[in-house]
Amino acid sequence: MSPLDRIRADRVGPPQLPATPQRSEEKKPETPRPSFADHLRRATEEIGGQVQFSGHAMQRAESRGIELNGEQLARIDKALDSAAAKGARKALVMLDDLALIVGVDQRKVITLVDGAGLRDNVFTAIDAAVIA
């Protein structure tokens, strides 16, 4: 074989690449994936599980001079936990001299009524009532 034939023979195939070391395939221990309930529980804990107020409820509270303290908010949270445990979606929460209509799944007070407004009032579209 002539030197020219050797050069051509070297160029005909794919170039030879240096061998790469094989990675050791270590299997990582499988960790169980968190369930949706776990994600929901963690998200609730992150926001403190605290009740929120709609714009309408805030306006009503301001116009009527209603202020809720930390102990009352904790009682509302506990009432929401009880309603949620029973599968309620919209609840009437009676708190001292206040009535609150609350979206249980969003933990949001939709509206509230105080003392005088409680007389002769009919609450509709609720599926639970909780005395807090």
Tens of pLDDT, residue by residue over 23-36, are 666 666 677 777 65
How high is the pLDDT of residue 107?
94
Segment 85-93 long-range contacts (CB within 8 Å, at least 24 positions apart): 86/128, 88/127, 88/128, 89/127, 90/125, 90/126, 90/127, 90/128, 91/126, 91/127, 91/128, 91/129, 91/130, 92/123, 92/126, 92/128, 92/129, 92/130, 93/129, 93/130, 93/132
* pTM of the entire predicted model: 0.62
Average the pLDDT over 80-105 and give the result: 95
Q: Specify the higher pLDDT residue, 24 or 122.
A: 122
